[in-house]
A and B are shown apart, each in its own frame.
Chain A
Amino acid sequence: MSFALTPEREREFNDILSRYPNRQAACIPVLHLCQEQVGWISDEVIEFVARRLDLTPAHVKGVVTFYSLFNKQPVGKHTVAVCKTLSCSLRGAESILHHCEKRLGIHLGETTKDGRITLRAVECLASCGSAPMMQVDKTYYENLTIEEVDRILDRLLED
């Protein structure tokens, strides 16, 4: 099935193009736009982006596979990304991670059976002064405690 942007995102697409001297530069922002709509970057999305930006699908695929935030397969409705780099680990990131795994009944990189939550361990998110932290979709949660993590996960599981 071929991919198309919603009319609202189509306007955003044109706005993105207007910012750059060539179409290729819009590649990453447009991939973000597509991922926002369907949650991941399928081959259909790659074809679409290549066609609309006058690029080869190979170029777009090369870009998609380079960057960790482009999902190469479908993910849960929500993504929980726990920072595990040094400053967070010095303040207990490991126990936050283990707790999330136990609580959700999945390992890192997996998605809950109901497709609700994907759990990830990620590298530094520039929140070292408020460690430990995790990002849920677009929101940062900082200075985490196990209780706080439970409250956040509860909300996500009910959603």
Chain B
Amino acid sequence: MLKPVKILSKNYDVPESWTLAAYERSGGYQSARRVLSSMTREQVIDEVKKANIRGRGGAGFPAGIKWSFMRPHPTKPAYLVINADEGEPGTFKDRTLMEKDPHRCIEGCIIGCFGIGAHAAYIYVRDELHLSKDRLWQAIREARAKGYLGPRPFGVDYPVEVYVHTGAGAYICGEETALLNSLEGKRGEPRLKPPFPAQVGAFGCPTTVNNLETIATVPTVFEMGGEAFSKLSELHHLGDGGCRLFGVSGHVKRPGVFEAAVGLTLRELIYDLGGGVEGGELLGVIPGGSSCPVLLPHETVSAPDEKSPLHPWHGKSVLDVPMGVDTFRALGTMLGTCCAIVFNDKTCPVAVAQNLLAFYRHESCGQCTPCREGTGWLNRIFTKIHRGEGSIEELDRVHEIASNIMGNTICAFGEGAAMPTLGLVRKFRRPFEDHINGKPCPAGGRLHA
């Protein structure tokens, strides 16, 4: 159900919303002050658990549970690391928080540090986002000058420092262990897990990695109370709480970032918030960043089993299913970052596959053979098919190559490339065959008319 809210984005339209003065006028830093001066670590984690914040970076892991994995180490410090490497194609939400409300991110870091027992937070921002970095640094300087960061935040003997760290152009650094290597001054190659970051993270120390939107949500949890926050969501009963930022891009009339309670449907995102499909009818939608398998408008939910989280929508269009971590997993796709890419019926699906695999080939870090070679191979096949030079054998081989990537790599990048590939070739088999058989492509092989 469409429940637009103005919580995370409440300051977006305020003049100079990125300044400390504007943030404090909206009640900013009250949550951090109260947490540090009157709560225990356990109470903080408990409240975040009640809020049912599913990680906003794509994996959807419950933030409170992640925090509870942190155990004090006898000799090593703990770190909070914030993932603001936003690079998943179609995803552009974290940027709005950093640019328009950086103090909310800093306040979240203060509470986060306290909750996990850390005294330092690193916000890892992709290098291209210069305005985001500038705004965050400015916010850090302001907060430090006011005594909200530093040796005694709000007069409490709990030192907290926040730093911005930048990448240098590598999508893989959005993968948490690659990000940690990059933070340590190395090549951004993912690490084998276990050990998990909570045991061995940044600089060999216990570390929590949270997405930027996740941490920016935390101050609100303490303003409203965890349970009240969670209940904003239509999917509170599934442990998927609160509100979040939704993005929509591609062929819609009003692309952009919108805030709503969890439980919004794709139909509402595309037609109500996004203003409807531009230039034609809806052909497909990639729900939450390019790694999520595509959904088609004529697909319906098949969930006769009453225990399925999808059962209440059995028989309905996939566009009418509330966007939640578990509901979308049950649909065979993923919620990802909640930023949908829409394409109309004048789009060539082969060109979509070719464009995405060019991305994955470029961004594979090269550490694992199945991913390094597989993404390149898939890209070559799609390029050939797109040019009308492919064969049915090659199209069939796509399934084999993609299946051989999945489960055979250190990190989830492999799945992120293979799953949408399989989705596209299964659901658009016909246009792929037409390209191979030399039938004219109604879209002229193009992505844009």
Contact = CB atoms under 8 A, between A and B. Distances in A.
Interface of A: 19, 21-22, 24-29, 31-32, 53, 55, 59, 62-63, 66-70, 84-87, 89-95, 123-131, 135, 138-140
Given A86-B447, A90-B448, A94-B447, A128 B171 contact: no
A126 B185 contact: no
Contacts of A93: 448
Contacts of B286: 86
Contacts of A68: 168-170
Interface string B247-262: 1111100011100000
A28 B89 contact: no
A27 B90 CA distance: 30
Nearest to B360: A123
B448 A95 contact: yes
Nearest to B188: A66
Interface residues of B, number: 58
A135 to B, nearest CB: 6
A86 B352 contact: yes
29 contacts: A21-B203, A25-B165, A26-B185, A28-B165, A28-B168, A32-B166, A62-B186, A62-B187, A63-B185, A66-B187, A67-B168, A67-B170, A85-B89, A86-B89, A86-B250, A89-B355, A90-B448, A91-B448, A95-B448, A124-B87, A124-B171, A126-B91, A126-B92, A128-B339, A129-B247, A129-B248, A129-B256, A130-B92, A130-B255
Given A89-B447, A123-B362, A124-B87, A67 B341 contact: no
B128 interface: yes
A87 B257 CA distance: 14
B153 interface: no
B366 to A, nearest CB: 9
A63 B359 contact: no
A22 B290 CA distance: 36
A25 B186 CA distance: 8
Given A22-B203, A89-B448, A95-B448, A128 B182 contact: no
Interface in B155-193: 163, 165-171, 182-189
Contact of B359 (A55, A66, A123): A123
A131 B249 contact: yes
Contacts of A85: 89, 290, 355, 359
B90 A87 contact: yes
B166 to A, nearest CB: 6
A131 B254 CA distance: 11
B126 interface: yes
B274 to A, nearest CB: 10
B185 A27 contact: yes
Given A32-B168, A86-B447, A93-B448, 13 more contacts: A21-B203, A22-B203, A27-B185, A53-B185, A86-B286, A87-B341, A90-B250, A91-B250, A123-B87, A126-B128, A128-B90, A128-B341, A130-B255
Nearest to A62: B187
Contact of B167 (A24, A28, A90): A28
B154 to A, nearest CB: 23
Nearest to B250: A90
B143 interface: no
A87 B249 contact: yes
B343 interface: yes
Contacts of B356: 86
Contacts of B184: 22, 24-25
A29 B166 contact: yes
A129 to B, nearest CB: 4
Contacts of A95: 448
A68 B290 CA distance: 20
Contacts of B127: 32, 69
A63 B446 CA distance: 37
Interface in B230-263: 247-251, 255-257
Contacts of B339: 128
- Identify the interface centre among B128, B184, B286, B339: most chain A CB within 10 Å of its CB: B128
Contact of B355 (A62, A63, A86): A86
- Identify the interface centre among B126, B183, B255, B257: most chain A CB within 10 Å of its CB: B255
Nearest to A68: B169
Nearest to A132: B448
Nearest to B339: A128
Nearest to B258: A129
Nearest to A65: B187
Contacts of B169: 67-70
Contacts of A22: 184, 203
Contacts of A135: 128
A126 B87 contact: yes
B267 interface: no
A138 B188 CA distance: 23
B95 interface: yes
- Identify the interface centre among B171, B183, B363, B447: most chain A CB within 10 Å of its CB: B447
Interface string B371-414: 00000000000000000000000000000000000000000000
B301 interface: no
Contacts of A86: 89-90, 250, 286, 290, 341, 352, 355-356, 359, 447
Contacts of A67: 167-170, 188
Contact of B163 (A19, A123, A128, A131): A19
B447 A90 contact: yes
Contacts of A138: 130
